[in-house]
Amino acid sequence: MSLPKSFTAVSCTAPHAPWKTVKVPVRTPEPHEVFIKVHASGICNSDHFVYEGAWPGLAYPRTPGHEVVGRVVSVGEGVQAGRFSEGELVGVGWNGGYCGACVSCREGEFWDCEMHAVTGFTHDGGHGEYMYAPVTSVVRLPEAALENSTYAELAPLLCAGITVYGALASTPHKPGDICLVQGIGGLGHLAIQYAARMGLKVYATSSGPSKAELARSLGAHEHIDSSAVDVAEYMSKLGGAKVMLCTAPSSGAISKVLPAVARGGVITVVSAATDGEVKVSTLLLNLKRATVRGWACGASSDTEQCVRFSHLADVKAMVKEYKLDEFAEAYENMITGGPKFRNVIVFP
């Protein structure tokens, strides 16, 4: 592959500074890096942490982007021979790699590595024509995945997809159990698909009737309009939700729906609601022996499992494609809640 001397990327130079398009010199990968030609890079709501300077230890300038799909250009001299080959289809997600030596890594909990590396936060991400990624963050993607998905449709699986997939796959359930998905956005529209394909009876709730038809098309048994129906009361009459996934970033909406949980049910909060505290009745938890937990992205091996399942079960992200020079527009559209459902920067 012939390489340019530099490549174009989006950069944030300081908190709240306008997005800039910059030229980045091409260099030899560090010993444990993989150099990747980017074909698609999803814009996640978490990119706002870079723009606002709200993530601890951020250093500027910084290129965000942690939903990346591309192909290997070259690898560092310290990468195990045969680990990745030139031209191979790969991805890079939220987890920015792991050390393999800390307590969490030695217990196989790579997502909780003491390094706490995040792609696009602790090192530059994928909103550019190329990127350098730590080898432990690189996800091997099956070439067959492109038979029923585009690069852009694969990209959101690297963060949004693995988040909701991991939350559902790790929740004890039986075929036919009721699952309530709160919110039908970037996370929720994937959660409905995964839950239905895992054999759960899915109820999806959002404010207003506009997404009812979409929810059913994605696999939901029923849509509940939370602006017209008391969701907790409605679900309680059905016996409650054994599996509940809260995906919409509204602490008030999450708090209101929690009483819909069934006896022994598990509530997983995957959204990053920053508008206040989620409130739950301890009596509710006690009487129903219910569990409330949070969930974060898995590491590269977890994401590989998610993508394999997505391919076999035909789970797809709904995306709108933008070019790199349209990044500021695409980012603003995401922040103001415009996407239906993920905005993705695509490259030739």
**pLDDT tens sequence across 68-97:** 999 999 999 999 988 999 999 999 999 999
pLDDT above 70 coverage of the chain, percent: 100
Count the neighbouring beta carbons within 10 Å of the beta carbon of residue 30.
15
Contact 219, 193 (CB under 8 A): yes
User: Does the structure show a pLDDT above 80 at 223?
Assistant: yes
What pLDDT does 4 receive?
A: 93
**Position 129 confidence tier, pLDDT thresholds 50, 70, 90:** very high
Which runs of E-coded beta strand occur in 3-104? 6-11, 20-25, 33-43, 68-75, 89-92
2 vs 40, which has greater pLDDT? 40
Q: Three-class SS of residue 29?
A: coil
The predicted model gives 261-269 an average pLDDT of: 97
pLDDT at 2 over 90: no
**C-alpha Rg value of the chain to the nearest Å:** 20
Contacts 24+ apart (CB under 8 A), 209-217: 211/184, 214/184, 214/189, 215/184
CB 195, CB 259: distance < 8 Å: no
Burial of 59 (0-12, 13-18, 19+ CB in 10 A): exposed
- Average pLDDT of the segment spanning 248-274: 92
Task: Give the integer Cα–Cα distance in Å for 181 and 2.
Answer: 47
pLDDT, position 203: 98
Q: Are 11 and 47 in contact (CB under 8 A)?
A: no
250 has a pLDDT exceeding 70: yes
Element spanning 152, H or E: helix 151-154
Instruction: Give residue 176's pLDDT.
Output: 97
The two structure tokens encoding residue 287: 């009487």
Query: Cα(69)–Cα(265) distance, rounded to whole angstroms?
Result: 35
Residue 338 pLDDT more than 80? no
> What's the rounded Cα separation, in Å, for the pair 251 and 120?
26
- What would the pLDDT profile of 135-178 be if each residue is shown by its tens digit? 999 999 999 999 999 999 999 999 999 999 999 999 999 999 99
The DSSP result for 334-345, as a single string, is: HHTT--SSEEEE
Does the predicted model carry a pTM greater than 0.75?
yes
Report how far residue 244's alpha carbon sits from residue 256's, in angstroms, rounded to the nearest whole number: 13
Quick check: 266 and 243 in contact, CB under 8 A?
Answer: yes
Which region among 102-116, 162-176, 309-323, 334-348 has the lowest average model confidence (pLDDT)?
A: 334-348
Answer whether residue 313 shows pLDDT above 70. yes
Residue 1 has pLDDT above 70, yes or no: no
Q: How many CB atoms lie within 10 A of CB 221?
A: 15
> Above 70 in pLDDT, residue 272?
yes
Domains located in the chain, CATH noted: 6-158+298-346 (3.90.180.10), 161-294 (3.40.50.720)
For residue 240, pLDDT beyond 70: yes
Whether the predicted pLDDT of 201 surpasses 90: yes
